[in-house]
Structure 1
């Protein structure tokens, strides 16, 4: 399958997805196969929450919007230009075990394997098994060669050359035992952190709310912890978060808020809270739903040393430009194609499989 054909097929998928924006549906007559797929995609979006209560229409549309923006000829070509990809690929079968915490969470691995010219064997989480097979069917309809390259399974992998597996710290031990003899990428739990200095504008803090509340905070790129200077005043922070107060109308989120608040109060933990978000001082990175952990620092140097020491626990860091590697406020859920989970370059990994 020619590299240019692979790129073109994903570009067509990007044009298809670009019709399903966060602002609503907009059918474009020039998009290929719309008569066969447009209405079916709407059905997938509208029914996603029936299969997973966290997959609200708003969050599914947000995910589709991000991928619609990413799958352009320019972005795809720029992304893969630094790799030695060619038409003469001896395709290997790459088993990909996907998480199910947010909509289409495994799509980047799906894209990476196929754009590299390999075959993908997908095992999805039952929490996110509706959208990707449908998008795969669109790709196959665009270019039938993909049918030879895409497979889904609910069973254990039995015939594969390499593995990319994403799960918890507990499942990672199983993955390492089972897949240790083949080339592999195994991802564990990671969380994201925001560094505040007390000099942020209200606009920046409002944007931070997107990093905190998008996908109900379930993504590895969702900010689950704040690093704040000693004596930090949370008043402006809470004022800035108020624009997200409607999140408490989600029954699942509200149930988690009530439960975790009760647990904290019974344990006599000190909390800051505003009716839909709790702040608890804690050294851990993985906070429960509706809770943000926070930790104080005394100097920027000390802070950066801690973040570096805990690098393997952190997916990304949000800050007001403290480091070039940090992400701007409001941008954690809009990664570039070159922003790899856990910082492991999947394309580079795939090019080295013999």
Structure 2
């Protein structure tokens, strides 16, 4: 069953463009193509993003573009949509309250709303004001019908039929109260964890560094805690992290590292430290920037039930042969189209909501 229509074709074209753009960046040939207005605009926005949000480095913006470019292929979109009957949709206005912790974090929700034939009323995060509108401008350019399907607002949300809101655990309580009369998906804080068994290769552990350090660990898919066997040698882990040591040269990261290290030392917490990452033994999940929590385990079946009991706090589990649905090392920031945040099927929600 194909879903070829102007909307899906526009997203396929966006994917083609993003792959082309990122290829020009990585091959250092972009300067030959600056007469293309979109190549120039994407380059400018990627370079300027850090002025608006110090965490949005050019490298991380390009990485987000690259991942969406790899995801938005005709084959991927058709495979994803084959699970649904889009003709069941009744057009509605869906309010999107977006997070801004990592570049383009709200784009999947927007994609779901538009590709199911609905309209989006968007409240952007103050931390990501530029990148989502950039992609929308491109989509409108290649498919003008998008113009009346997307509205950005800074005012109080009005005249919408359903809402998808992402925020902290605190704002989620407010959202649940405020939006209780409308069909809604309310997303809260989540973190990701990795389970090591001690037999990982240096290559696997170094790949895990991508899950820990990409986007400075600010994403809900970023690994903020590791579980390690009782007799684990931490030096092995630290050695594998060494390729990421340059992260300490980023000013905001370094400030967080210094601050959190000082707080831990003054509180006389026992910490391990390699000069750019602090390891602290801790039961909770959400480690501060430049820190990684760890916990020892002895019994894998007990650990599985612990994680099962805490599943509403966990986005991803990174491991090898430990649990169903696990993510392999280095892949948390490469979700496929049907990897829904919090495990809630956004497309199904939109199709069922009249």
Q: TM-score, normalised by structure 1?
A: 0.96
Determine the C-alpha separation between the residues in 2 that align with 1:23 and 1:211. 21
C-alpha separation between the residues in 2 aligned to 1:171 and 1:23?
A: 39
Distance 1:26 1:161, change over 3 A: farther
What's 1:126 paired with? 126
Partner SS state of residue 5, structure 2: helix
Alignment of 1:1-354 (within 5 A): 4-21=5-22, 23=26, 35-86=36-87, 89-354=89-354
Displacement of 1:142 in angstroms is 0.9
Q: Secondary structure at the match of 1:18?
A: helix
Work out the CA distance in 2 between the residues paired with 1:25 and 1:154. 38
What whole-Å deviation, never above 9, does each CA across 1:68-109 have from its counterpart, x for those lacking one?
0011100000011110113x7431000000000000000000
Tell me how far 1:321 sits from its aligned partner: 2.1
Moved over 2 A (4+): 19-29
SS at match of 2:69: helix
Shift of 1:155: 1.3
Report deviation, 1:3.
5.8
Task: Tell me the CA shift for residue 172 of structure 1.
Answer: 0.2
The 8 Å contact of residues 163 and 179 in structure 2, kept in 1 or not, is answered as yes
Contact 2:55–2:216 (Cα < 8 Å) also in 1: yes
Rounded to whole Å, the distance in 2 between the matches of 1:350 and 1:54 is: 32
Task: Report the TM-score, using the length of structure 2 for normalisation.
Answer: 0.96
Report the Cα offset of residue 144 of structure 1. 1.1
Alpha-carbon distance in structure 2 between the residues aligned to 1:254 and 1:193: 23
Report the alpha carbon displacement of residue 24 of structure 1 after superposing the two structures with TM. Answer: 5.0
- TM-superposed CA distance for 1:214, in Å, is 0.1
| Contact kept in structure 1, 2:96 and 2:120, CA below 8 Å | yes
Indicate the SS of the match to 2:337.
coil
CA contact (8 A) 2:92 2:161 kept: yes
Aligned 8 A contact 2:95 2:123 in 1: yes
Unaligned ranges ≥5, structure 2: none
* Stretch deviating more after TM superposition (128-137 or 3-12): 3-12
**Residue 297 of structure 1: how far off its partner (Å):** 1.3
Tell me if structure 2 keeps the 8 A contact 1:197–1:228: yes
Bigger CA drift: 255-264 or 227-236? 227-236
CA distance in 1, matches of 2:29, 2:321: 36
